[in-house]
Amino acid sequence: MSKVFIGMPPLPAFGSGNLNLTEPFPRAAARELGNQQLRSNLRHATHTIRDKRLKVVAELPDWEELRDAGSAIKESVMADLPALLERFEANFTARGGKVHWARDAAEANAIITELVRATGAQEVVKVKSMATQEIGLNEHLETEGIAAFETDLAELIVQLGHDKPSHILVPAIHKNRTQVRDIFLAEMPGVDPDLTNDPAMLAGAARSYLRSKFLTARVAISGANFGIADSGTLAVVESEGNGRMCLTLPETLITVMGIEKLLPTFADLEVFMALLPRSSTGERMNPYTSLWTGVTAGDGPQDVHLVLLDNGRSAALADEMGRSALHCIRCSACMNVCPVYERTGGHAYGSTYPGPIGAILSPLMTGIEAEENNSLPYASSLCGACFDACPVKINIPEILVHLRGKDVDSRRGRMKPPSQMDLLMKGAQWAFSSGTHLGLLEKGLPLGRLAAGRSKKIKHLPGLAARWTDSRDIPAPPPASFRDWWAKEHVPEAPITQQGGEA
Amino acid sequence: MRIALFATCIVDAMYPQTAQATVRILERLGHEIIFPAGQACCGQMHINSGYLDEAKPVVENHARAFGADDYDVAVAPSGSCVASVKHQHPMIARRYGDAGLEERTTAIGARTYELSQLLTDVLGITDAAAQLGSHYPHQVTYHSSCHGMRLLKLEDRQLDLLRSVGGIEVTELPEADQCCGFGGTFALKNAEVSSAMLADKVRNIESTGAGLCAGGDASCLLHIGGGLSRSGSPATTLHLARILASTMQDPAPAPESLRSGARA
């Protein structure tokens, strides 16, 4: 039941589409952990790209300053977003483009369907796009009788395999090349039946399949890495050249971009073109950068559209502590260094955005109170590797803690009995808010010694603590706490100088 | 110098010898150690688990216990607890709009040091054997805990001190900068992922052939030690403070004699 108070504007709407978990993270993670193939593929891939990133980042003496610059530009964008969006719209429109505003996934999908319908096309080619993954565009178009063909190689593998991407940069990171060959053999029309798992041969098969799509498609759908407000320019950064094919060959181009992707000026792009390729693919520069500004007569698509997507971004923006999650440039550096992602893969996170950034972005966009994503902020040991790797210095661990606080608070005062965790925390609050209390509790240490027995190890604990003793022992506690030792027995040691330099 | 010891709850209750070792090292250098009796815990478990209301009295207690001016610096043998005192306590104070508490916690944070930080940056210890008489003639590997490494930027302070111990052989730990998987209640809430991270840490420690993994954070060592013990590994864990406090006259136990119960 929604309440609207007079004089109090309602909070922005939360996002929808492929942002929600379908089952709690711990359960999904436990299942994915059991997939040995996934584990070894992920380990190999993340470690390779991690090392490459470290190498090319180390080449730049001003990397920290670049990160600061990127962070500062993004902060200024968030502070001035409405004005920048209007400026972008004016400039994009003045150059012959058309702008459409979509509040959520359903609106965006409806707008795009309408635009494709108007061209009379039954097929569209697609550049890899996180925004269209987020709104579930392909699935929606399919229900409308429009076939969408992914042209990014990894995205194509995922699409043909009736699978979901598990990484934002390397969507098929969880598949090895034999699995790719099997998918191509089963699903790719006209494929060579003697296809082997040789990477060159696999790429060749995809190439000839896609070439026919590029040459016949009349409509292309893309995402955008950046939008430049001052000129109304859009930018797509990619590695394979498939994007440029889509962006230049068809008659109609429809781009879907999250409203947070704006940069104020062309000069700001320079910072991000240094930060993004090095952080994401570990390259100094990506092979293809396409920039377009509205329509150019006689050159490229003549019917150019942009769908500006909110889908929960305004809600994230309204969270003062969490809003810097919107600084994300989708480089994937955080997931490549994350020990949790490395072991569970992207599917465990349920959302289009996996890994550490997904663990904050998805709940911020859908609302932590909704319970759909409230296990995501706990999917981290708070080791901080993501913060170190983030090219725009998003303090992911701090936002994770902030969201955990919001989650705990949102469950306070409901008529449920307290959970074991609630009780543990209440008990610990009592013990830890006074030295006297902790000292009293520590008088029970001999009991723990008794429980440990002759092996001096505690191997089984009841309740929540069993989650610990499932795979780890606890040593027998000492006979007395340090506090007690200090009070009873501490005799200051003579300093070294008075002993003539202890030998 | 008058140094206030923050023992931390885990060390106080589970590893008193680590706190005793910390006291011995600093007294050996001629400093006076005090133990503010009101101290309990930094509240990191509450904060990191999202129980911020419950964390507030814990933070207030720490500010009370360490709020007096009767010491020059405070020290804790734990990077994560020091990081919590420095970064999280003022954050909690701000959250509850308590300007007085923010001022007190900020001041306490500014003079609270992790042990290797205090030894290196304040007390000028570069050679543990020569300056502390440290002697520990065993093969050891070393795990750099996340919060010390990333939040406190300890860099090689702990490792350099360890390497300068008399008689020691320090073997590099593969993937030393990878989290052991403890993460406080993460080990309970995501027990399977935590265990998978721990299994890799255990495997890496075993690959070094060292009988001991040293570190500067008792909580990580409790986790790693618990994993080594459960897997029947010949290795165990020991806190850096105990290795630094070990001398020829008063040696810390050898790795093999530490195995039962995995003392950190």
Per domain, the residue ranges of chain A are: 35-158+167-179+215-316, 434-490
The predicted-structure confidence for B109-140, as pLDDT tens digits, reads as follows 999 999 999 999 999 999 999 999 999 999 99
Instruction: Between A500 and A328, name the one with better pLDDT.
Output: A328
Judged against a pLDDT cut of 70, whether residue A334 lies above it is answered with yes
Judged against a pLDDT cut of 60, whether residue A477 lies above it is answered with yes
Judged against a pLDDT cut of 70, whether residue B141 lies above it is answered with yes
pTM recorded for the entire structure: 0.95
Residue of B47, B182, B189 to mutate when probing chain A, most A C-beta within 10 A: B189
Q: How many residues does chain A have?
A: 503
Mean pLDDT of B19-43: 97
Instruction: Work out how many domains chain B is built from and give that number.
Output: 2
Instruction: Quickly state the pLDDT bin for A6 (edges 50, 70, 90).
Output: low
Whether B35 maps to a domain, the answer reads yes
> CB B179 to CB A385 under 8 A?
yes
Percent of chain B with pLDDT over 70: 98
Contacts A–B by Cβ distance under 8 A? 243
Instruction: Report phi then psi at B219, rounded to 5.
Output: -70, -45
Judged against a pLDDT cut of 90, whether residue B41 lies above it is answered with yes
A341 min Cα distance to partner chain B (Å): 9
Average predicted confidence (pLDDT) for chain A: 93
Q: B181 and B83 in one domain?
A: no
Average predicted confidence (pLDDT) for chain B: 96
Q: What residue in A sits closest to B260 (Cα-Cα)? A: A456
> CB A421 to CB B49 under 8 A?
yes
Judged against a pLDDT cut of 80, whether residue A497 lies above it is answered with no
> Which residue in the set B14, B33, B131 is minimally distant from A477, CB to CB?
B14
Q: What is the pLDDT of residue B248?
A: 97
Q: Which CATH class is domain A35-158+167-179+215-316?
A: alpha beta
Whether B229 maps to a domain, the answer reads yes
Q: B113 and B134 in one domain?
A: no
Radius of gyration of chain A (CA): 27
Judged against a pLDDT cut of 60, whether residue A33 lies above it is answered with yes
Which among B62, B87, B141, B154 is positioned nearest to B115, based on CA atoms? Answer: B154
Can you tell me which residue has the tokens 């006259």?
Answer: B249
Can you tell me which residue has the tokens 């390729």?
Answer: A277
The predicted-structure confidence for A284-320, as pLDDT tens digits, reads as follows 999 999 999 999 999 999 999 999 999 999 999 999 9
Chain A residues within 8 A of B193 when measuring between CB atoms: 26, 29-30, 33, 340, 343-344, 379
Non-local (6+) Cβ contacts of A142 within 8 A are A148
Q: In what order do the strands lie in the sheet with B112-114?
A: B32-34, B2-5, B73-76, B112-114
Q: B171 and B95 in one domain?
A: no
Provide the pairing of β-strand A252-258 with A303-309: parallel
Judged against a pLDDT cut of 60, whether residue A425 lies above it is answered with yes
The predicted-structure confidence for A101-144, as pLDDT tens digits, reads as follows 999 999 999 999 999 999 999 999 999 999 999 999 999 999 99
Q: What residue in B sits closest to A495 (Cα-Cα)? A: B28
Both tokens assigned to A237: 């950064």
Can you tell me which residue has the tokens 């193939």?
Answer: A37
What is the domain extent for residue B41? 2-121
Chain A residues within 8 A of B192 when measuring between CB atoms: 26, 29-30, 33
The predicted-structure confidence for A435-458, as pLDDT tens digits, reads as follows 999 999 999 998 888 888 888 899
Whether B78 maps to a domain, the answer reads yes
> CB B146 to CB A382 under 8 A?
yes
> CB A33 to CB B150 under 8 A?
no
Instruction: Between A305 and A12, name the one with better pLDDT.
Output: A305
Whether B226 maps to a domain, the answer reads yes
Instruction: Quickly state the pLDDT bin for A13 (edges 50, 70, 90).
Output: confident
Tell me the CA distances in angstroms from B82 to B89, B113, B117, B132, B162, one per residue in order: 10, 7, 11, 23, 20
What residues does A268 pair with on adjacent strands?
none
| CATH number assigned to the domain comprising residue B142 | 3.40.50
The predicted-structure confidence for A242-274, as pLDDT tens digits, reads as follows 999 999 999 999 999 999 999 999 999 999 999
B235 min Cα distance to partner chain A (Å): 14
Q: B97 and B67 in one domain?
A: yes
Can you tell me which residue has the tokens 């007390």?
Answer: B123
The predicted-structure confidence for A88-109, as pLDDT tens digits, reads as follows 999 999 999 999 999 999 999 9
Whether B264 maps to a domain, the answer reads no
Instruction: Quickly state the pLDDT bin for A10 (edges 50, 70, 90).
Output: low
Mean pLDDT of A327-346: 97
Judged against a pLDDT cut of 50, whether residue A500 lies above it is answered with no
Percent of chain A with pLDDT over 70: 96
Whether B263 maps to a domain, the answer reads no
Percent of chain B with pLDDT over 90: 97
Q: What is the ipTM of this complex?
A: 0.96
Q: B163 and B115 in one domain?
A: no
Instruction: Quickly state the pLDDT bin for B222 (edges 50, 70, 90).
Output: very high
B261 min Cα distance to partner chain A (Å): 4
The predicted-structure confidence for B188-210, as pLDDT tens digits, reads as follows 999 999 999 999 999 999 999 99
Mean pLDDT of B181-191: 96
Instruction: Determine the Cα–Cα distance for residues B37 and B65; give it in Å rounded to an integer.
Output: 7
Instruction: Determine the Cα–Cα distance for residues B118 and B111; give it in Å rounded to an integer.
Output: 10
Mean pLDDT of B66-81: 97
Instruction: Quickly state the pLDDT bin for B262 (edges 50, 70, 90).
Output: very low
In this structure, how many other beta carbons lie within 10 angstroms of the beta carbon of residue B178? 20
Q: Which CB contacts under 8 angstroms, 24+ apart, belong to A56-63?
A: A56/A278, A56/A282, A56/A283, A56/A284, A57/A278, A57/A279, A59/A284, A60/A274, A60/A278
Instruction: Quickly state the pLDDT bin for A492 (edges 50, 70, 90).
Output: confident
Mean pLDDT of B220-234: 96
Q: What is the pLDDT of residue A188?
A: 95
Q: In the listed set B99, B121, B143, which residue is the last one of a domain according to the structure?
A: B121
Mean pLDDT of A199-216: 94
